[in-house]
Structure 1
Amino acid sequence: MRVLLVDAFDSFVYVVKNYVDLLGADTTIVRVNHLAEVDPLTFDAVILGPGPGHPEDCGYLELLDRVAGRKPVFGICLGMQAIAVHAGAQVVRASSRQHGKVSRIRNDGRGCFTGLPDTFEVTRYHSLVADETSVGQVADLEISARSLLDGYVMGLRRGRSLMEGVQFHPESIGSQYGHQVIGNFFREYCG
């Protein structure tokens, strides 16, 4: 399986690559500002990695235009926010920054959460969140996980578009079941 991992200038991208490689994938990292040099449709799946900034400004939306419904996409942090914005939802500033904070989430047990406990601890590094009200107004976007600390959206799914994302960092050592979350995505969408 060939995986395109898009790097939005984040230091966690190599940890994500190691996790995906452990699943037996051939993972290629491409910086978001070099996406014109590759054809994302030649890959079996795309991962939108974490990074700083707002999803409207990072280059992910153009990539999602090209692959939506054609290739499975997994978004991590900024990547999940981009999935939300691409679907028509809004991303807003959180009431407090969650950089390196561990909190519990509750998930729906489907998609990337298949077979996992309904609550577990994850590590968060974000100051922006998908706005729940606007998410609820998008027909093809469902909330798959929430923080038990502050109720913020921690997981989203666009099943018809083959997209799923998490706000937390599954690759962080402080996140429980991180390998399984990533592995479940590939089992669910890549067979």
Structure 2
Amino acid sequence: MKGKLILEDGSVFTGDLLNEYKATGEVVFNTGMTGYQEILTDPSYCSQIVTLTFPLIGNYGVADKFMQSRESFVNGFIIGELCDEGSNWQKENELAKFLNDQKIPCLYNVDTRAVTRTIRSQGCMKGIIVSEDASQEEIDKLMAVPIKLDVVAEVTTPETYVMDNDGPHVVVMDFGIKQNILNSLHNLGCKLTVVPADTKADEIMAMNPDGIFLSNGPGDPKDVPEVIEEVKKLIGKKPMFGICLGHQLISLALGANTYKLKFGHRGSNQPVKNLLNGRVHISSQNHGYAVEEASLKELPLEITHINVNDGTVEGMRHTSLPLFSVQYHPEASPGPDDNMYLFDQFWTLLTGETKGE
């Protein structure tokens, strides 16, 4: 069946529909060469239509071990060539079956280079996936569907759960956390108590944690002011580490500002400079918002990392409290392992010991 992606500015891109599902959402692109299942199941993509720039998708199939959440929260998938039969010793199924089982609208055989160039030029915008013969009435109806704002509430864990261990106790505020971040913290030796995003500060402190972790997640950080208020109450009480949305929430809680990027940073090949030692790391990223550098100047925060491509803030630390955060994803699944040292830094804040000693 033939279908098309229609962007808010009137641009149209044609292709083939894998299924009959329709989609409305913000259209974004990811430049990673691998990790399509991790992208599809990363809650940070909630309500978005994801375009992959790498031309061949599905070539190594799918497997349960690569799932990053309980289900996929993406609204649609735009790709070039859809591989019919993947080849990988870990493969359990084909990508096409996964997309159908998850009820994800997929348009393939699309000129994804053209889609990406449009988004880079015009910025991220709303789009819809429909069949080629969709009526104008159907198109107008889908395009009128608003972009969801309550996305953190949709992806957070519905109930508290524990990943037991012998090390320090960390309460994880789940705003849409990737499983591989949890695995990285657990492999470090931490006992994890993962709590819903709306958990109050006094409830967290009653759990007697050694540290607090603020996770990644979808959407505009300013859409969850109630979470920001609870983070304010937690700052300075225990060592704190934030990633992606967690990084933005910390900055807002301390009085800084965030803003929307033109087309965001999404991919496993983003260069980040560590200002503390001058090293450049290659990182995995997925965010559409950033912390405004100018808003940090009067605050007790030091910028520790910047994006080499556009100079945006990628990391910061408090000048007196045991608190730091990064905009990118240090866990290397998929992506490089350049930034795993950040988990070791958190361990040091928790225990006073260098990991491995």
- The TM-score normalised by the length of structure 1 is 0.86
2:213 is aligned to 47
1:32 aligned onto 2:192: no
1:76 is aligned to 243
Cα 1:143/1:25, change in 2 over 3 Å: same
8 Å Cα contact 1:45-1:72 kept in structure 2: yes
Runs of 4+ in structure 1 displaced over 6 angstroms? none
Find the partner of 1:152 among 312, 326, 330: 312
> 1:78, CA displacement in angstroms?
0.4
- The residue type paired with residue 160 of structure 1 is S
1:62 aligned onto 2:229: yes
> 1:180, CA displacement in angstroms?
1.5
> 1:35, CA displacement in angstroms?
4.2
1:87 is aligned to 254
Distance 1:178 1:60 in 2: 27
Query: CA offsets, 1:92-129, max 9 Å, x none?
Result: 0113221225211111337xxxxxx7111001100100
- The answer to which structure, 1 or 2, has the higher relative contact order (CA under 8 A, 6+ apart) is 1
Distance 1:172 1:92 in 2: 26
Distance 1:119 1:26 in 2: 31
2:5 is aligned to none
Query: CA offsets, 1:152-188, max 9 Å, x none?
Result: 1000111323220000011243143332211112214
8 Å Cα contact 1:169-1:175 kept in structure 2: no
Query: CA offsets, 1:41-90, max 9 Å, x none?
Result: 51000110000122233343223222211101100000111111111110
Find the partner of 1:122 among 267, 283, 293: 283
3-state SS, counterpart of residue 9 of structure 1? coil
3-state SS, counterpart of residue 189 of structure 2? coil
- The residue type paired with residue 223 of structure 2 is D
Distance 1:53 1:100 in 2: 17
> 1:150, CA displacement in angstroms?
1.0
- The residue type paired with residue 297 of structure 2 is G
Cα 1:35/1:9, change in 2 over 3 Å: farther
The RMSD of aligned alpha carbons is: 2.1
8 Å Cα contact 1:48-1:60 kept in structure 2: no
Find the partner of 1:134 among 276, 291, 295: 295
8 Å Cα contact 2:281-2:339 kept in structure 1: no
Distance 1:36 1:181 in 2: 24
8 Å Cα contact 1:48-1:79 kept in structure 2: yes
User: Number of aligned pairs?
Assistant: 182
User: Quick one: percent identity of the two aligned structures?
Assistant: 27
Structure 1: where are the runs of 5+ without partners? 111-116
- The TM-score normalised by the length of structure 2 is 0.48
Distance 1:73 1:88 in 2: 17
8 Å Cα contact 2:275-2:306 kept in structure 1: no
8 Å Cα contact 1:91-1:131 kept in structure 2: yes
8 Å Cα contact 1:40-1:46 kept in structure 2: no
Distance 1:141 1:95 in 2: 25
> 1:32, CA displacement in angstroms?
0.5
- The residue type paired with residue 177 of structure 1 is D
- The residue type paired with residue 317 of structure 2 is R
Structure 2: where are the runs of 5+ without partners? 1-167, 353-357
Larger Rg: 2
1:103 is aligned to 270
- The residue type paired with residue 213 of structure 2 is I
